[in-house]
Amino acid sequence: MEDLYEIREKKYKENGEAIVSKDNCNIILKKRASGVVYCPSMKEKSPGAMYPRVIELQHNGDANGTLLATCEQYTHGTPVFPIFRSTDGGNSWSRYSQVEDAQLGWGARFQPHLFELPVKCGILEAGTILCAGNFIPNDMSKTILHIYKSNDLGKTWTFMSEIARGGEAHVDPDSRSDKTRPVWEPYLFMTDKQELICYYSDEGYYHSKDCNQLLLHRVSKDGGFTFGEPVLDIAIPDKVKRPGMPVVAKLPNNKYIMVYEIVNVDGIPVFFRISEDGENWGDPAFLGHPVCAMDGTYVSGTPYVTWVNRGGKNGTILVTGRGFGYMMANSNLGNGFWEKIPCPVESDISCNGANYSQCMIPIEGGKSLLSLCPTQLYPQLCQIAYAISDIYTV
């Protein structure tokens, strides 16, 4: 009679054909500090704050080690992307600046993402800080992904360009007109070709009317002033499954991992793919490899991925999702099953917006992990909380 391991091994091979190992996580996390990055007032619009993003400056000389964070800030006025700064390793935070919609006047509304250029790109010097996000008017009639830059460590921001545009800011609308199909969730990254890439989700049907939503990317050779034509990454041609929220990290074998959610599947599971160059992700119709523990558990939706240089020669990949109170870890380059690790920031997902698209980055040269997560403040409001965990190899 087959044991649980043998059954799961067969199931995993059917889905991802990955090599199964029984020892796929070689780290533990020990939380040593926690607190709040941003706390909205009781009068703010629900859900208060979601979708945090954070970077640690590494290409700005004496400012290296500075942390910059942002989030969706819900307000009754014109929304902005607030910028918070920490100069003490994440132990304390203060409001530093904000990214305003200087181009359209609609508002910097959803899905901000921060990125520091690691090398010179076009006329932009290494250390230039970029912020991409979804700019949407009050009537939610349009979605436009714009990118802004800062040459002074995030203090002031200047508009650069439009990445992509779409229709109404409503998820999976009943109307199938191309004019009503939105774009979502920009994620900036740079591969070894030293070209800026923006991955994003698109409900439009420029490629196939059989797809609910597509994952695409565009490449910029000048640091974000201009972007090339969209390149298709993932598209499930069944009119139902909805890949979304792509996040990418580089692995120590010079390959890249992309995680994404699959909506309209029970539990909104998180899947991943591996790429040789960060641009070619295989057959777009392939569902992907499941981020799955040996007992069948998984993380649900709004994923984030990072790699830490602890846990052996391959380091460890960490993947978060919404709910369940744990993240997934794999010290075998994504092969085999994943192991559950408790999330450093606890949250009650019964609160509107709590735990929605948390993020994490290694800091202090990989010795520690900084986690940001929306947590319950009031019944209908979330704050952005943080935790700092030391990473130990076992």
DSSP structure string for 50-81? EEEEEEE--SSGGGTT-EEEEEEE--SS---E
Q: Report if residue 138 sits inside a domain.
A: yes
Q: Which helix (H) or strand (E) holds 6?
A: helix 4-16
Total of domains in the chain = 1
- In eight-state DSSP terms, residue 366 is G
Query: Which residue, 83, 132, 80, 71, is CA-closest to 108?
Result: 80
Q: Report if residue 293 sits inside a domain.
A: yes
Using an 8 Å Cβ cutoff, are 244 and 238 in contact?
no
Query: What pLDDT, on the 0 to 100 scale, is given for residue 23?
Result: 60
- pLDDT < 70 stretches in the chain: 1-23, 172-179, 205-208
Query: What pLDDT, on the 0 to 100 scale, is given for residue 179?
Result: 64
Pairing relation of β-strands 231-235 and 214-220?
A: antiparallel
Query: Which residue, 137, 29, 55, 38, is CA-closest to 353?
Result: 38
Q: Report if residue 8 sits inside a domain.
A: no
For residue 371, give the 3-state DSSP assignment: strand
Give me the CATH number covering residue 60.
2.120.10.10
Query: Which residue, 347, 360, 365, is CA-closest to 388?
Result: 360
Domain span at 256: 21-393
Q: Report if residue 16 sits inside a domain.
A: no
Q: Report if residue 365 sits inside a domain.
A: yes
Question: How far apart are the C-alpha atoms of 115 and 129, rounded to whole Å?
Answer: 6
Query: What pLDDT, on the 0 to 100 scale, is given for residue 175?
Result: 57
Query: Which residue, 87, 51, 50, is CA-closest to 68?
Result: 87
Q: What are the residues whose beta carbons fall under 8 Å from the beta carbon of 24, sequence distance 6 or more? A: 329, 330, 331, 332, 335, 336, 337, 338, 339
- Strands laid side by side in the 158-166 sheet: 108-116, 129-135, 143-150, 158-166
Query: What pLDDT, on the 0 to 100 scale, is given for residue 18?
Result: 44
Q: Report if residue 314 sits inside a domain.
A: yes
> pTM of this prediction?
0.92
Q: Report if residue 7 sits inside a domain.
A: no
Query: What pLDDT, on the 0 to 100 scale, is given for residue 207?
Result: 60
Query: Which residue, 387, 384, 385, 355, is CA-closest to 368?
Result: 387
Question: Letter for the amino acid at 282?
Answer: G
Q: Report if residue 11 sits inside a domain.
A: no
Query: What pLDDT, on the 0 to 100 scale, is given for residue 16?
Result: 44
